[in-house]
Amino acid sequence: MELQTYRYHGHSMSNPGVSDPVTMLKDRMISNNMASLEEIKDIDAEIRKKIEEAAQFATSDPEPPLEALCNHIFYNDAPLEVRGTNPWMKLKSIS
Are the C-beta atoms of 21 and 3 separated by less than 8 Å?
yes
SS3 at position 54? helix
Read off the pLDDT of residues 31-86 as tens digits, 9 standing for 90 and up.
999 999 999 999 999 999 999 999 999 999 888 888 887 788 766 666 677 777 77
Please report the pLDDT score of residue 32 as a whole number: 97
Residue spans of alpha helices (H) in 1-95:
16-19, 21-31, 37-60
Q: Residue 16 and residue 13: Cα distance in Å, rounded?
A: 5
Q: Residue 7 and residue 15: Cα distance in Å, rounded?
A: 14
